[in-house]
A and B are shown apart, each in its own frame.
Chain A
Amino acid sequence: MNHKLKSQITQWEPIETLAKKVNAGQLSAVSLIQKSLDLIEKNKEYHSILSVNKKLALEHASQIDAQVKSGKQAGRLAGVPFIAKDNFLAHGSPTTAASHMLEDFVAPYQATAIEKLEAEGAILVAKANLDAFAHGSSTENSAFGPTLNPHDKTKVPGGSSGGSGAAAALELAPFALGTDTGGSIRLPASYCGVVGYKPTYGLVSRYGVVAMASSTDVIGPLTKNVEDAALVLDIMSGRDQFDGTTIERDNTSYTNLKTSLKGAKIGVIKEYFGKGLDDGVGKIIKNKIEALKQAGAEIVEVSLPSVDLALACYYVIVPAEVGSNLSRYDGQRYGLSSAGAKDLYESYELSREHGFEAENKRRILIGTYVLSSGYYDAYYRKAQTVRTKLINEFNSVFKKVDFLLGPTAPTTAFKIGQNVDNPLSMYLADIMTVAANLVGIPAISLPVGTSKNMPVGMQLMAPQHNDRLLLALSKKIEELN
Chain B
Amino acid sequence: MAKITKAEVEKLAKLCRLKLTTKEVGQMQTELNSILDYVEILQKVDVKGLHPTSQVTGLMNVFRPDEIMDYRVEPRDLLKNAPAAKDNQFKVKRIL
Contacts and interface: CB of A to CB of B under 8 A. Distances in A.
A201 B56 contact: yes
A244 B51 CA distance: 23
A469 interface: no
A344 interface: yes
A362 B93 contact: no
Contacts of B42: 309, 312-313, 316, 379, 382-383, 386
Given A201-B57, A245-B57, A361-B24, A388 B18 contact: no
Given A215-B55, A241-B64, A423-B34, A352 B18 contact: yes
A58 B51 CA distance: 53
A353 B18 contact: yes
A229 interface: no
Interface string B40-58: 1111010100111111110
Interface in B20-76: 20, 24, 27-28, 31-32, 34-36, 38-43, 45, 47, 50-57, 59, 62, 64, 69, 71-74
Contact of B81 (A105, A391, A440): A105
Interface residues of A, number: 70
For the complex, would chain B's binding face be called helix, strand, loop or mixed by DSSP majority? Answer: loop
Contact of A365 (B13, B45, B69, B77): B13
Contacts of B84: 337
Contacts, number: 175
B1 interface: yes
B92 interface: yes
Given A384-B53, A388-B53, A366 B93 contact: no
Contacts of A356: 18
Interface stretch (A328-336, A451-459, A472-480): A328-336
Contacts of B43: 378, 382
Interface string B82-96: 111000001011110
Contacts of B1: 378
Given A365-B16, A365-B32, A368-B12, A383 B81 contact: no
A332 B41 contact: no
A352 B50 contact: no
B57 A350 contact: no
Contacts of B90: 332-333
A108 B71 CA distance: 11
Contacts of A392: 50
B17 A349 contact: yes
Given A245-B55, A333-B90, A368 B15 contact: yes
A20 interface: no
B83 A424 contact: no
A481 to B, nearest CB: 32
A349 B18 contact: yes
A423 B51 CA distance: 30
B12 A369 contact: yes
For the complex, would chain A's binding face be called helix, strand, loop or mixed by DSSP majority? Answer: helix
Contacts of B83: 331-332, 334, 337
Contact of B80 (A106, A368, A439): A106
B54 A215 contact: yes
Nearest to B52: A384
A389 interface: yes
A241 B18 contact: no
Contacts of A349: 17-19
A427 B31 CA distance: 12
Contact of A344 (B40, B45, B95): B95
Contact of B17 (A352, A378, A381): A352
Contacts of A315: 35, 38-39
B2 to A, nearest CB: 9
Contacts of B24: 358, 361
Contact of A108 (B4, B52, B73, B95): B73
A387 B53 contact: yes
B92 A388 contact: no
A241 B69 contact: yes
Contact of B16 (A344, A364, A440): A364
A126 B74 CA distance: 24
A379 B40 CA distance: 8
19 contacts: A109-B77, A202-B57, A245-B55, A306-B45, A332-B90, A333-B81, A343-B94, A344-B92, A344-B94, A347-B92, A358-B27, A361-B20, A366-B36, A385-B53, A386-B45, A391-B53, A424-B34, A424-B38, A438-B56
The 6 closest A-B pairs by CB, nearest first: A440-B56, A384-B52, A337-B83, A108-B77, A334-B81, A109-B73
Interface of B: 1, 4, 9, 12-13, 15-20, 24, 27-28, 31-32, 34-36, 38-43, 45, 47, 50-57, 59, 62, 64, 69, 71-74, 77-78, 80-84, 90, 92-95
